[in-house]
């Protein structure tokens, strides 16, 4: 990410500590960034391939932006299984 040329991306897999009953809504945000101050700060961060068991955080930059490091926080909201849930068939 420090080369400062062209499109670059990094992906990290997140596995939920408990499986949701269906794919949750996931919000991802930058909680820290360390970038070169002499170039434009171009960044995009998102959640992709969201399933009931996890997702991928995808960080992208492009152009002459130079990134030393970033940190992301995320929040997943959705229905979870409960011991008191039961199904009628």
Residue tagged 């492009």 (tokens): 62
Stated pTM of the model: 0.83
- pLDDT tens column, 15-69: 999 999 999 999 999 999 998 888 888 899 999 999 999 999 999 998 888 899 9
Instruction: Please give the CATH number for the structural domain made up of 8-77.
Output: 2.60.40.2080
∠ Cα 28 32 38 (to 5°): 120
Beta bridge partners of 61: 8
Q: What is the distance between the alpha carbons of residues 56 and 16, in angstroms, rounded to a whole number?
A: 11
Per domain, the residue ranges of the chain are 8-77
Mean pLDDT (whole number) for 72-87: 84
> Residue 21 region, left (φ>0) first, then alpha (ψ -120 to 50), else beta?
alpha
Q: What is the distance between the alpha carbons of residues 57 and 22, in angstroms, rounded to a whole number?
A: 19
pLDDT band with cut points at 50, 70 and 90 for residue 88: confident
pLDDT at 4: 64
């Amino acid at each position: 990410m420090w080369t400062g040329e062209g499109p670059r991306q990094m992906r990290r897999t997140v596995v939920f500590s408990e499986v949701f009953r269906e794919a949750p809504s996931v919000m991802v945000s930058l909680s820290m960034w360390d970038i070169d101050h002499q170039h434009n700060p171009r960044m995009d961060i998102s959640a992709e391939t969201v399933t009931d068991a996890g997702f991928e955080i995808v960080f992208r930059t492009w152009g002459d932006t130079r990134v030393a490091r970033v940190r992301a926080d995320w929040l997943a909201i959705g229905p979870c299984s409960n011991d008191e849930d039961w199904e009628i068939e």
